[in-house]
Amino acid sequence: MDIDERLQTVEEEKLTVPIEVLLKNIDFLPKLSIEQTEKLLTSLPYKMEEIESKIVALEMIFDEAQSRCKRVESHYKLLTIAKKQSKELLSEGDRTAWVNCQEEVQKAQDDVLKAKKALKEEQTLFNRLDRNFIAVRKIASLVNLTNTVIDESQKYV
């Protein structure tokens, strides 16, 4: 499958639900209990910290893969000097193409892409947890405010 086909499938997989439909069905969404809210408030930061540590490790792997890729490409670029002098690869474009066709270079480039994919996936997971944590904090704040208002109103009963 070529890149255009892959991009098209990603576009087709996007689920876009109009806001009107979401608002109409909001009463059917699951509600968090106070206990669930408290558990999420205490557990999400630890999970986020765990994922942040993984992101740091993946960033290092990505940086190492990029560095290795540059070294491999440089090694093969140096080999093209001899090919230039022997009149095999005269133009810069030919030398660049020759470098990019080398199996070791292609493997290094693929490793960079794999590392970048893994990093992006973890960053996406962290961002989702971060949004959930913010939402749970807001819910907890609303619950707290509601309880405060109820307590205040009980004084006048």
* pLDDT at residue 72, as a whole number: 97
Report the half-sphere exposure of 80 (CA within 13 A, side-chain side): 20
Could you tell me the CA-to-CA distances from 53 to 6, 56, 74, 77 in Å, in that order? 31, 5, 32, 36
Question: How far apart are the C-alpha atoms of 55 and 49, rounded to whole Å?
Answer: 10
**Residue 95: both structure tokens together:** 């030398």
**44 backbone dihedrals φ, ψ, rounded to 5°:** -60, -40
- Does residue 132 have a pLDDT over 80? yes
* pLDDT, tens digit, 9 for 90 and up, residues 55-82: 999 999 999 999 999 999 999 999 998 8
pLDDT confidence of 25, banded at 50, 70, 90? confident
Q: Which amino acid is at 113?
A: L
Q: Which helix (H) or strand (E) holds 59?
A: helix 34-85
Question: How far apart are the C-alpha atoms of 56 and 61, rounded to whole Å?
Answer: 9
* pLDDT, tens digit, 9 for 90 and up, residues 41-51: 999 999 999 99
Q: What is the mean pLDDT of the chain?
A: 88
Q: What share of the chain is helix, strand, coil (3-state, %, to 5)?
A: 85, 0, 15
* pLDDT at residue 14, as a whole number: 63
pTM: 0.75
